[in-house]
Every structure is written in C-alpha cells, then in structure tokens.
Amino acid sequence: MEYRALGRSNLQVSKICLGTMTWGQQNSEAEAHEQMDYALEQGINFFDTAELYAVPPRPENNGLTEVYIGSWFKKSKKREQVILATKISGPRADLSFIRNHDLEYGKAQIHLALEGSLSRLQTDYIDLYQLHWPQRKTNTFGNLGYRHDPDDSWQDNCLEVLETMDALIKAGKVRHFGLSNETPWGLMHFIRLAEKHNLPVPVSVQNPYSLLNRSFEVGLAECAIREHCGLLAYSPMAFGLLSGKFHKKTDTPNDRINQFKGLARYNGALSWAATEKYLALAEQHGLTLVEMALAFVTQQKFTTSNIIGATTMEQLKENIKTAEVVLSDEVLAAIDRIQVEIPNPAP
C-alpha cells in the first residue's frame, strides 16, 4: 500500500481510504467490524465517516456508522493504528433530527457536533474534522453551474470556524481540519483567511470524483496541487454503476441504485451511456471496469486518497486490490475521449 501526505500535515494516509456510509443501513455492526479488520490488514490506515451516516439519513439510523466504528475501536484496541476522519453536518431542511439544533458552523454547534462524534466513536480525538458541505448556497450535490442567490442569508463565519478549529487542535480534540463538497472559491477563501490570521489551513477537500464526474478538474485540481490540499475522492464507483453489473444484468435488488430510487445522482441516461463506453474500453484492454474506474481516480496527481465503500467482503477485496493497478497512457487517452463525448454526466 502506498501512503501519501495529508495536505500540509505530517500524517501519511493510505491512497485507498475505507468509506463507511453504508454501515447501519446496508451493513450490520458485525459486517462493519469485518470490513475494518480486513482493510487494516491490507495496509489501509485511513477511515472516513460522518455524523450524518448511515446514508440515506433517517432518524432511526443516524449516528449508527460512528457507533459501529466506536465499538470496533473498543473491541480491537487499534484506535492508534487508524487515521480517522469524520464530518459535521451543515444546514439542510430535512436533517433537523441531527443534534436537534440549527445545523450551522458556529462555535457552539461545532463543539456540540464534535462531542457527539467523540462519544459515538469512543475516542478522545479526531484526526481529520471536516465541514460536510458549505453553509452558504452554492453549486454542490449535482449542480455544475453556480447560480447566485441574492437572498442567501449566509453570514461569512469562516473565520469563526477557523478559530474554533484552532482551539480544538490546541485542546487535542482535533488534529487537522478539512472541507467537503467545496468549490474553488470556498477552498481559497478558507486558505487566505487561515494564512492571514495564522490559523490552521484545510489539509484536504472531500469532493465527488469519478469517470462520470470530473468537475473537480476544472478549478479545484490546480488549487489542490498548488496549495497542498489534496482530494479525498468520494463516490468513485458512482453508487456502483461503474462496476458494470447493471449493464451486464448481474445486479440484485439489494444494490444501492435499485434499493434507493430517490438517490438518482448517478442513475441518469447519460451516465448509463457513458458507463457502457467505459465498460467496453476496460474490456478491450483486459481490465475490469472496477479496476479502470478506481485506478483512474487513485492515480490522479491531485488525489490524496480514494474513498472506496462496499456492502460485501467480495466487493471490498476487489476494490482494495485496484491499488495495484496503473492505467497506461493509451487507456487514459481513451478515457479522455469518452469524457469529451459525454462530459460529466453525473456531477
């Protein structure tokens, strides 16, 4: 397993990160523990979760993912072997059950969210604490273009966020701070403020990135490389569409796209058309689509770690094994041609 610097920190994280959002929804506690055992054995030292998980979020499963990780820490005694990332949820009307408070990033809410995560995770500190999405209205979650809303009531509290993170780092409860679902403006705004006021800079940005969504390359890739704030890529398999199983008719009713029809981000006609082309390309070069899809994300210069997730051990083993795959220039050029033909069908 290759390890890479987490931004400007002194942490080295595995280039494959274990994603956890299905635990508590599609995976039991025992299955979650089995996944963590296996991932650690394979050299994965980086786990990512959130107070929001499991997904789709519901009151009855909220926080279960962190609970499962916490019970594994208690049982395994391996907390110190893991670089642990979690996230605080931001404003969203349908998530009022989380913390039962306004979901904003003020000092009080950050402290409340963090204490909840620490308790569920049965740990005294978080290695990487991330804002799950911007508090302001901007183009996240399926929106490519920015549409300004002059009535957006957002107040620029980014300095307060940074000051709070600084205090938590000094208190030993958080080691580093990161962003998620962020734009180039948002990332650079945080970096400028942090440098101006001598506060912690974000060490990572966790955004979607896959063969079906390369929007990160437009503005954020340059920021990530030049500012040493690399991508933690989520949904690299596009909810499993990029496994090829749906096109090969080997999918089951339990697969994510089939089970959660309301989560349609990766299930549009253009995504299916592009995936068909990527499947043919992979097979032409003796690769599985899983190998090509995950290796493409992992080997990008701006990627710090590729967040893989699985609902079965077979999937997990297949995903982790892609760490050994390096795509040729010929395959990369062919991927680019498909991207030009059907650009970013699943932003």
Task: List active site positions.
Answer: 53
Distance CA 179, CA 105 (A): 12
Report the half-sphere exposure of 246 (CA within 13 A, side-chain side): 24
Q: At residue 346, what is the residue type?
A: A
Q: At residue 251, what is the residue type?
A: D
Q: Residues 222, 297: contact at Cβ < 8 Å?
A: no
Could you tell me what percentage of the chain is helix, strand and coil, using 3-state DSSP and rounding each to the nearest 5?
A: 40, 15, 45
**Two tokens at 13?**
């994280």
Distance CA 176, CA 169 (A): 7
Residue carrying structure tokens 């998980």: 53
Strand runs labelled E in the chain:
3-5, 12-14, 16-19, 46-48, 83-88, 126-131, 174-180, 204-208, 230-234, 303-308
Distance CA 259, CA 255 (A): 6
240 DSSP assignment: G
Q: How far are the Cα atoms of 36, 212, 241, 262, 341 from residue 265, in angstroms, in the given order?
A: 27, 11, 11, 9, 20
Name which of 170, 130, 139 is nearest 344 in CA terms. 139
Q: CA dihedral in degrees (148, 132, 295, 262; nearest 10)?
A: -80
> Phi and psi of 191, rounded to 5°?
-65, -45
